[in-house]
Amino acid sequence: MREKEYGIWQALTWADLATLVTQLACGLHLAGLRRNEHMIVIGANRPRLYATMLAVQAIGAVPIPLYQDAAAPECVFPINNADVRFAFAEDQEQVDKLLEIRDECPQLSHIYFDDPRGLRNYDEPGLASLEDLLAAGKAFAAQNAGFLQAEVNQSKPTDVAAMFFTSGTTGNPKGVVHTHDSLLNRARAGAEFDRLTHSEDVLAYLPPAWIGQNIFSYAQWLSCGYVVNCPESAATVTIDLKEVGPTYYFAPPRVFEGLLTSVMIRMEDAGALKRRMFHYFMSVAQRVGPTRMDGKPIGFANSILYALGNALVYGPLRNNLGMSRVRVAYTAGEAIGPDLFSFYRSIGINLKQLYGSTETAVFVCLQPDNEARADTVGVPCAGVEIKVAEDGEILVKSPGLLKEYFKNPAATAEVLTADGWYHTSDAGFLDAHGHLKIIDRVKDVGRIKGGSNDGAMFAPKYVENKLKFFPHIKEVVAYGDGRERVCVMINIDFDAVGNWAERRNLPYAGYTDLAQKPEVYQLIKECVEKVNADLSVDALLAGSQVSRFLVLHKELDADDGELTRTNKVRRGFIAEKYDVLIDALYGGKTTQFIETQVKFEDGRTGSVSATLKIEDTKTFAPVKAAA
């Protein structure tokens, strides 16, 4: 592993890691952690966090990574549900969080911290530094040389390896139980599919509590033996990405959206000549780039043009994004907009989609290098079977399926059939080429009711992703099921729109003020109408064109319950919270006052109020797409 500390990359060899794990495992055993017990780990990607997880697994216990940005009350349910006595906390922030909820979690008796800054005068029972644990473990290991190996030898592939709590879009999160075999089997399947070796470089910058990050930088790391790089902080990820130049890269669509937005902002600030050159060669890339990435011929003239574009635009752009060495890049977590997907492939980045979930240990479907398409998520990978239920739901059988939901047999029975099929809750189908196409969540796919589009299919996530391709739009929540028309609530991208406003000498006093500017509404309206024009040629979704929209007065936030910790929209929660806005959208109003309570980073609460404008948009008659 490598860890960036004080601006310098520090290397940790496998031998160093083995020593660290041995001492931690022995220390935890001395402290009383026993086989099959749970221990939470909470913090950013760090060698010592990974070593702690390995140490916990080595003595037969079960690590549970939690989101480091979760508020203290969000940690109560997982800790109590799993009867957790032991915790690893990265720093003072995480220690304070655990101490705050200790009265609600009386069994939490041992808290170990890694970074001692700010903790010198803390005097809490059971609170100790990782250094103390390592010292005790080192002494125990010296006197009991065969202890750890004996513990490891007791473990079986079918033993529980880790537990991951779902994001909890509805109700309490569920603890997804995985075995060593389910995690390593899928890690190996993914590695073989993309021919991964020990020579890969990976940047671990997403929360370890998200199974996507856990598979790519932990399970596959152990399976392949490649190098995992831990950035200095969340603020330096972009810089660290350029320095590391990963060969294997993984990010949810939101990250790719953010990178594209930053590129577009910089191009808007560039000189006229550079802008013209960029837009010209990007039109070339969009026309022939994806075809070239698929290994198909593009003709001599296009090859020359693309090579010139590569020298002047695409190569420098890949380097600026930190992706000049990327051999395989994946996106998952939610659907990516087709335009966004095509953009990256057009400039020579081998971006592919994969399909999976926490319950399937990520890898269900993968896209072969020359068959990456924006509208599918690939073919079933090794060991996976897929079938489509009568209602369109995707069912999966795989060696990577969860063992159970912890202490929740009813929920387990809902998703796992007696003969081993897992209900994904996603609607989709297998196309003629054997690729899986996901439409939306089964519960979210609906129908327009009444009006000229009566009975038309409505897929909110598809509409939302089309709109989020525009750099000025950060988040969208679409409604329309059971209604005559589709209406959306939009979050602008504050950086992108702020930059746009500054170049036009448009003053503003913060997000709320900027969001309600007439000029901003016109900008967003143009984006919505472009999406409507695209939807009009889609035979299935022409009825999903957006009729009305508003720009929200605040950004949707996980701390306010509007997003999950993996930044997925909680559509039902938002519908209840902003019911007055939905009523205004569908009631024909042109303005609506709203006041919303918000939570600040320091734990205080306040309120944001504004009178929001509501705009009608142009829709287009459905047209037949060109053959």
Domains (range + CATH), the chain: 2-244 (3.40.50.980), 251-441 (3.40.50.12780), 446-616 (3.30.300.30)
Q: What is the pLDDT of residues 355-401, one digit of tens each?
A: 999 999 999 999 999 889 888 899 999 999 999 998 889 999 999 99
Q: How does pLDDT run across 41-84, given as a tens digit for each residue? A: 999 999 999 999 999 999 999 999 999 999 899 999 999 999 99
In the block, tokens 């739901």 appear at 393
Candidates 407, 557, 497; CA nearest to 77 is 407
**DSSP-derived pairing of the beta strands 328-331 and 351-355:** parallel
Can you tell me the mean pLDDT for 263-278? 87
Residue 551 is predicted with a pLDDT of: 96
Q: Torsion angle of alpha carbons 236, 239, 244, 250, nearest 10°? A: 70
**pLDDT for res 262:** 83
pTM: 0.83
Q: Measure the CA dihedral 302/304/306/307, to 10°.
A: 160
Q: What span, in angstroms and rounded, lies between the C-alpha atoms of 26 and 56?
A: 10
- What's residue 68's pLDDT? 93
pLDDT surpassing 50 at residue 626: no
Res 91: pLDDT: 96
Give the pLDDT confidence of 545-562 residue by residue, as tens digits: 999 999 999 999 988 889
Bridge partners of residue 422, in order along the sequence: 396, 416
Which of 95, 48, 104 is closest to 73 using CA atoms? 104
The span from the CA of 499 to the CA of 495, in Å, is: 6
pLDDT at residue 168 above 70? no
In what side-by-side order are the strands of the sheet with 436-441?
385-388, 393-397, 422-430, 436-441
CA separation, residue 138 to residues 133, 144, 153, 513 (Å) = 9, 10, 20, 58
Mean predicted confidence (pLDDT) in 343-349: 94
- Give pLDDT, residue 349: 95
Tell me 312's DSSP state. I
Which of helix, strand or coil describes residue 433?
coil
Sign of CA dihedral 420, 422, 428, 432: negative
pLDDT value of position 627: 41
Find, among 43, 7, 18, 193, the residue nearest to 115 by Cα.
43
How confident is the prediction for the chain on average, in pLDDT?
92
pLDDT at 5: 87
Q: Cα dist. 179→174, 461, 602 in Å? A: 16, 32, 38
Task: Determine how many CB atoms are found less than 10 A away from the CB of residue 205.
Answer: 24
Q: Specify the length of the chain in residues.
A: 627
d(CA 400, CA 384): 9
Alpha-carbon span 137 to 25, nearest angstrom:
7
User: Residues near 66 by Cβ (< 8 Å), separated by ≥ 6?
Assistant: 40, 41, 42, 75, 78, 165, 209
The confidence band for 624, taking pLDDT boundaries of 50, 70 and 90, is low
Residue 448: DSSP 8-state: -
Alpha-carbon span 460 to 445, nearest angstrom: 7
Burial 180-191 (b: 16+ CB within 10 A, else e): bbbbbbbbbbbb
User: For the segment 483-531, what is each residue's pLDDT rounded down to a tens digit?
Assistant: 999 999 999 999 889 999 998 999 999 999 999 999 999 999 999 999 9
